[in-house]
Structure 1
Amino acid sequence: MSEGPSLETDRLVFHVPRREDFEEFAAMRADPIVARYTSGKPETANATWGRLLHYRGLWGIMGFGFWVVREKQTGRFVGTIGFNEAHRGLTPSMDGIPEAGWVLASWCHGKGFATEGVKAACAWLDTQTPYRRSVCIISPANQPSIRIAEKNGFSLFATTQYMNEETLMFERKITV
């Protein structure tokens, strides 16, 4: 089973999810501010535990996954950034294409951590995997995430329905 790599940027460190990340991860996922553009409601500890296991398991099965991200200087929990394979049943299909995702704790919104972290994750995907394309889905109301996606080379390619709501689909073609 692939353990997954560690990454580092000027302000952030990334590691594969660990048991000891759970409490901070669960607190973030239970925050209504964070949930606003994800599921729309705070996540239970049980659902977050399953998510942590899913994020960890992606590495062994897919060769990519999510990292837990911490502030380099303090070690403070920032959030999760990485890639998913979710089989969401969307049209057009995203199956078999790494789906970029980022969820950050509300304390660090607006500090540029997401843009910096997504850039590092995409650079890793570009150089360490055979994938030539990645995608992401974003609520039209989530303007901060749309800006993060665009700053990292994602462009709108479709609109779909997900969880009974209009959802924007972005793609990033790898040029390496």
Structure 2
Amino acid sequence: MTAPPILHTDRLILRAHAVADYPACQALWADRQVVRHIGGSPQDAQAVWFRLLRYAGMWSLLGYGMWVIEDRATGALLGEAGLLSAARGLPELDAVPEAGWVLGRQGWGQGIATEAMAAILRWADAHLDAPAIRCIIEPDHDASIRVAEKLGFVPLRDATLGAKPIRLFERHRALL
């Protein structure tokens, strides 16, 4: 697979990133409030550009990756969600897709991350040969922990990534 399929939910369109998304992605990843639990540092223009290129590469090489979360009603880019392989050096993430999501402030508190990731996990259960999917969340990021729990993720263990504490979560493949 070289490009993500387009997924639809009641409120969202999940689609491939495009070059035209670069300004919106740049604004998303430059927002200190957005990244405070995702590495903690805003990303510069080059880092965001390389991020978009990595997204395309994951689809090309792995058959899974990240989607743009687009508001069906307005077309606005609300965030990103999907599956990744980030070579983080954590053995629990080796050879297992890692779920990830990020929303701009306009999408907070509306169930957008849960809705997007539920569609992605349904797609993964039907198309990937992965017995489990894992994710990492900072222990004090209550909103993302609630999303993970709603999606069926359970705590696996606490660890550190760099010097920051994280919690690993796991979700087993749903039987279709």
Give the TM-score category using the shorter length.
over 0.9
User: What TM-score does the superposition give when structure 2 sets the normalisation length?
Assistant: 0.97
AA aligned to 1:142 is: H
The CA deviation at 1:14 is: 0.8
Distance 2:111 2:159 in 1: 28
Q: Which residue does the alignment assign to 2:110?
A: 111
Kept after mapping to 2: 8 A contact 1:86/1:95: no
Deviations 1:139-159 (A, max 9, x none): 001000000000000000111
The CA deviation at 1:175 is: 2.7
Distance 2:46 2:39 in 1: 15
Distance 1:169 1:23 in 2: 31
Q: Which residue does the alignment assign to 1:60?
A: 60
Distance 1:79 1:163 in 2: 25
Q: Which residue does the alignment assign to 1:78?
A: 78
Deviations 1:113-161 (A, max 9, x none): 0010110111100001111210000000100000000000000011111
Deviations 1:87-135 (A, max 9, x none): 1001x43111000000011111101100101101111000011112100
User: What TM-score does the superposition give when structure 1 sets the normalisation length?
Assistant: 0.97
> What is the Cα-based RMSD across aligned positions, in Å?
0.9
Kept after mapping to 2: 8 A contact 1:12/1:117: yes
Identical columns (%): 39
Q: Which residue does the alignment assign to 1:16?
A: 16
AA aligned to 2:167 is: L
AA aligned to 1:149 is: A
Distance 2:79 2:150 in 1: 19
The CA deviation at 1:32 is: 0.8
Unmatched runs of 5 consecutive residues or more in structure 2: none
Q: Which residue does the alignment assign to 1:153?
A: 152
Secondary structure of 1:93 counterpart: helix
The CA deviation at 1:10 is: 0.2
